Amino acid sequence: MLTGLPMLFLSRVQIADYQPQWSEPIADLFYLAVHAIEPGVYSPEQQQAWAPKPDYLKWQQRLANKRPFVALIQKQVVGFLELEPDGHIDCAYTHPEFQRQGVAAALLKHAEKHAQKAGLSRLFLEASKNARPFFEKQGFTCLHENEVTINNQTLINFVMEKYL
């Protein structure tokens, strides 16, 4: 578990390409981020279906394939974002202790620069109910509401896009 770092360090967010030693901290971060969502947004059952206890081998394999951008503060993993070659953002999560402090914005800015260098003109994603306002502030437009069923739980998210 991370200990809260002084605000001074938030200006020192570093974005790095994925390294295999970060697979467990990323898996833990994902689990913590989903389970930190208020129960009025997604129920505990929905959260459990979305983010069961981490299977570290599956996460290691996933991350080796996805190669996310990773946000670090003092060498600690505080966020990650998976950008696919077609411009799809599959995952974008920030550790609960560092949410609303610029980590996700730094990751997204990095991903946008990377996408532009790769010749992409559009980013798109499926944002959770609580992530939708963040992405709207970053210039994404909501195309439509989406229902996803995971482990017999139906979750609502939003298909969103941004032209670069």
In the block, which residue shows the tokens 């990751």? Answer: 107
CB distance 80 to 93 below 8 Å? yes
pLDDT at position 24: 98
Mean pLDDT of the 89-115 span: 96
**Topology of domain 7-163, per CATH?**
Aminopeptidase (3.40.630)
Report the pLDDT averaged over residues 95-100.
Answer: 94
Other C-beta atoms within 10 Å of 134: how many? Answer: 18
What is the pLDDT at residue 1? Answer: 42
Full-model pTM: 0.92
Residue spans per domain, the chain = 7-163
Backbone dihedral region of 34: left (phi > 0), alpha (psi from -120 to 50 degrees) or beta? alpha
Amino acid at 30: F
Please tell me the predicted confidence (pLDDT) of residue 12: 84
Check residue 11 and give its pLDDT. 62
By the 8 A CB rule, do 160 and 125 touch?
A: yes
Residue-wise pLDDT for 31-82, tens only, equals: 999 999 998 999 999 999 999 999 999 999 999 999 999 999 999 999 999 9
